[in-house]
Amino acid sequence: MQLWNPDDPITLRGSGVPPLPPAVQERLQDACHQLQVSWDGSADHSQLMELCQHLGLEINVDVLQSLTGDGEMNVQEFVTRVLNQNKPPTPSASTPYRQLKRLHSTQPFDEGGRRTASCPLSSSIGLRLFSSLDDGSGFTAVESLLDAWMEEGVENSLEILQALNFGLDGRLSLSDLTLALENELLKTDKLKAQLAVEVDERHAAIEQTNNQNLRKLEQDHREKLSVVRSDLMKDMELTQQQNDQKRETLEAELEKIREDESFLRDHLSISLQENRRLEMELLDSTDHLVAAQSQNTKLQTNLENMRKEKV
């Protein structure tokens, strides 16, 4: 299990079971409500373990052995004992630096960006993180710290201490080291937060630029579409006018053709009538000619007969 990051200073106490601070009680009540455990009553072993896991509390063997025969204990008393335990971290725990990274996020800090944790709180955190190095004075030898970090796989231990302005000889304060690590982590978190803000601002600027470009493209598209529609309407009106003019011209020509056709029909009818009249006259003249020729023949015959008689 990981160490829990308390919001309020909880220092190491004596052998009694003091009441929990209000902020811790509120956090405990919320956790019990979520897990459906009575926060002011007793709970069994499995419920207590689940509660500690939910809160991120690390339990040592002494606290587990303090449970009653049936494995039950008052919830507040159990949490208080877990918070006040003063045992080194288990071998499975992460390095002090990583444990500190889990704890530092809830610590208050001043306007200058540095942690404002009180000395008792810093000492408590220092004991919890570096308790294996503490001989009871709150100090440890630099060599012991470097050896412990090397065993934990921390690289560049000397450079880390120098960067934190600690000497490489003698002894150093564990609380000062804890606070220095906290401040370095805070700087890193602030840089990350600043970077996140810059990324968000960059994304917002890109999104705003994209929106502006999109709106500009939409406006350009609407304007071009309006121009195309206007040109199309003009072309349609011009074409309609030309078609109307052509239709009027064709209708006028068709009317003239119809008039000419009517005139020709009338003229043809008159010509046919005149032709029939002339044919009738021709027939009459032919009849008269035949009659005249017959009369002439008779007269010639009579004339010949008269000449013969005279002779």
What is the average per-residue pLDDT within 65-88?
A: 69
**Under 8 Å CB-to-CB from 103, ≥6 apart: which residues?**
3, 5, 125, 129, 182
**DSSP state, 105?**
G
Using an 8 Å Cβ cutoff, are 69 and 58 in contact? no
Residue with tokens 């005149």: 274
Q: Give residue 272's pLDDT band: very low, low, confident or very high (50, 70, 90).
A: very high
pTM tops 0.85: no
Q: Give residue 87's pLDDT band: very low, low, confident or very high (50, 70, 90).
A: very low
- pLDDT score at 152: 80
H-run or E-run covering 141: strand 139-141
Local structure of 113: helix, strand or coil? coil
Q: Percentage of residues in the chain with pLDDT exceeding 90? A: 32
The 10s digit of each residue's pLDDT in 196-231 is 999 999 999 999 999 999 999 999 999 999 999 999
Buried-exposed string 49-82: b where 16+ CB fall within 10 A, e elsewhere: bebbeebebbbeeebeeeeeeeebbbbbebbbbb
- From the CA atom positions of the chain, what is the Rg in Å? 61
What is the average per-residue pLDDT within 155-180?
A: 83
Which of 24-38, 60-74, 164-178 is the least confident region? 60-74
Using an 8 Å Cβ cutoff, are 5 and 103 in contact? yes
Residue with more model confidence, 157 or 13? 157
In order, the DSSP letters of 41-68 are SEE-HHHHHHHHHHHT----HHHHHTS-
**Under 8 Å CB-to-CB from 59, ≥6 apart: which residues?**
1, 49, 52, 82, 85
Q: How far is 173 from 123, CA to CA, in rounded Å?
A: 9
Residue ranges of domains in the chain, CATH in brackets: 1-87 (1.10.238)
Residue 101 has pLDDT above 70, yes or no: no
Q: Percentage of residues in the chain with pLDDT exceeding 70? A: 74
Q: Report helix, strand and coil shares of the chain as percent, to nearest 5.
A: 70, 5, 25
Q: Give residue 163's pLDDT band: very low, low, confident or very high (50, 70, 90).
A: confident
H-run or E-run covering 118: none
Using an 8 Å Cβ cutoff, are 198 and 173 in contact? no
